A and B are shown apart, each in its own frame.
Chain A
Amino acid sequence: MQHVDEGTLQAWLDGEAVGSTVEAHLEACPECAGRAEELRALGRRTRMILGEGVPTSAQPDFAAVRRRAEHLRHATPPRRRWKAPAWAASVVLAVGVGWMAREIASPDAGPPLAGPEAAPLPVEPDAASRVVEPEAETMEVEPQAAPTRVESDPRSPASADVPVPAAEARAAGREATPPPPAPDRAEVADARPPLPRPEAPRTDRPGAARIASGVEPGVVRGRVTSGEGAGVAGAQVYVPGTNLGALSDADGSFVLPLTEAGLGDSVLIEVARIGYRVESRRVGLDAEAAPALEIRLTEQALALEQVVVTGAAPSVTPEASIDASELEWSELPVAEAERRLGFSLLAPDGSPPDSVAVGVSPGVPEAESTPRVARFTVPVGAGGAVTLYQSPGPVGLSEALPEGHATSARRIGGLWVRATGPVGTETLDALLARLR
């Protein structure tokens, strides 16, 4: 079997390679699937590292740029000319973080929080003080935030005109814009006093740009521990399929602000650390939810160094492929299904389906069987529905598809997901791409 080379895998992960060939191979080849997963984890780690102590600066006034451009125009011809760009117009980069920050700072950005959500969550004093430090203000703008290409963020022009809070000391003594007037900040503080401002936590780097659409702040907090209860530092806590994530601190504690609109009432988060098995949890983002999570990691005999040396160690023992057509299905409430499955379900808008069926091999007594496959449907377009199968191992279907049906599979956040329904493959792929 011809394996997928690393460059192509990387390109596929970045959405830069034709997917179908790669996906077909990954489905058939656990080794390559493991390499892809490693590469994905490396990418997350890279973005987090580059988010550590990212350089920030106050933004000098745009007028200075104009003056400089004017100067360039009258100066001698530039020593070098840059070629004009010829890039596809279809590339849409994420709208940047500066605006987002303003959205939050803007008093009309959203209704103030009320009710239980506004109550401060129990955190150790250190973390609490940390999130309100002015220094943290500068951490919200991160280059990591930009990579999402598909998300453009519609926002009101009004909010875009509110000045960026620039708390950097560097502003002093430069031709920089002075920091915004204090009243602005005070207003914000009045509007939502008890909750740490969602842009403030220092641990939100990778997702900063997509956080803060100004709707419903939801902050997931918790602690990552090892088997012995000791805190695990440097664990990645993230929402699969997004750039939202945080690193646990020396004590294992983390703060993951998830205020992005459209995540729904609950969200699946994963916790990963080299040397441990990936854990996933579904956590509520609504008002009553969000007690501090305690996530315990179990060790796994795999170190990053090994991967670097061999370059091809699969991160998990792939499970055998399952034929969904041959399973016996029983419907369960989602929470119960997830408990029995041992993993959380992925759904396109982040909210779980109403109910789900779990599949077990026929003839196995219920007491002994652990379902490994979940099945549920999600609506697409007018009246149509797509069936999604999710499992830690590849899921196949031996039944012939009905006329006009298509099927597509993809590995997302440690799960194999197969979509099948009376729509085109493109629709299925688009749906799979939205799974969280």
Chain B
Amino acid sequence: MKTDWAAVYREAHRDVFAFLAWKLGDEDRALDLAQEAFARVLDREADDPRSLVFRVAANLARDEVRLVVRRRRHLKLVRVEEDVRAEAATPPDLALERREGSRRVREALARLSETDREVLLLWNAGLSYDEIAGSSGLARGSIGTTIARAKRKLVAAYEAGEVDDAARG
């Protein structure tokens, strides 16, 4: 059966985008790479198209991370701009709350190692252990341990951030 990529795109784009945005901390790049990921699979057939896209996206993200240091200063500017735009479009308290939530999660994710972060985000996106193993290069047998560790780190980092925020007022 021919894979209906347009349907997969409609259905999975948001998740792929969210995955990339968390992974990269940069929504512009995430949008671009999500498109790239879909473009790369368009000629292919897949039993599980959604997983294929995630896998390609994860690979693209990994390549991207290597380049990210170079661009970091630029990113900072982009993000400030984004925040301003988002704020203009949503009621102030919501915009603030959302940005705060997003910032705290981003900071917590940043405490994880590259591998832990990738595995956790793929797990969160619903990929199977085989797929996560295929994408991350880890042995299947170590996926469970990695997920458990990553969850624990993320929750601890997130809650530590909560405490910090509260302390700062």
Question: Which A residues lie at the B interface, using CB under 8 A?
Answer: 5-11, 14, 16-17, 39, 42-43, 45-47, 49-50, 52-57, 59-60, 62, 64-66, 68-69, 71-73, 78, 80, 82, 84-85, 87-89, 91, 93-99, 130, 133-136, 141-149, 160, 164, 168-170, 174, 304-305, 308
Contact = CB atoms under 8 A, between A and B. Distances in A.
Contacts of B38: 65, 69
A65 B145 CA distance: 37
Contact of A91 (B13, B15, B31, B51): B51
A385 B19 CA distance: 44
A65 B35 contact: yes
Determine chain B's interface SS by DSSP, over half rule: helix
A394 B131 CA distance: 35
Contacts, number: 229
Contact of B134 (A60, A65, A85, A143): A85
17 contacts: A6-B144, A11-B129, A39-B151, A46-B124, A49-B105, A57-B27, A68-B35, A72-B40, A82-B55, A89-B48, A91-B47, A96-B11, A96-B50, A98-B12, A133-B90, A149-B128, A170-B82
Given A68-B39, A141-B15, A57 B151 contact: no
A201 B130 CA distance: 34
B65 interface: no
A141 B90 contact: no
A48 to B, nearest CB: 10
Contacts of A134: 90
Contacts of B63: 80
In the A-B complex, list the 4 residue pairs whose CB atoms are closest, starting with the nearest. Answer: A169-B89, A53-B102, A53-B101, A7-B145
A16 B50 CA distance: 19
B80 interface: no
A6 B144 CA distance: 7
Contacts of B159: 304
B48 A85 contact: yes
Interface of B: 5-7, 9-15, 17-19, 21-22, 27, 30-31, 35-36, 38-40, 42-44, 46-48, 50-52, 55-56, 59, 63, 82, 85-86, 88-91, 94-95, 97-105, 108, 120-121, 123-126, 128-131, 134, 141-148, 151-152, 154-156, 158-159
Given A46-B155, A308-B156, A7 B126 contact: no
A143 B125 contact: yes
A55 B22 contact: yes
A8 B144 contact: yes
Nearest to A129: B91
Given A54-B18, A59-B14, A143-B125, A87 B51 contact: yes
A88 to B, nearest CB: 7
Contacts of B130: 87-88, 91
B148 to A, nearest CB: 4
Nearest to A126: B93
Given A52-B101, A55-B22, A69-B42, A46 B10 contact: no
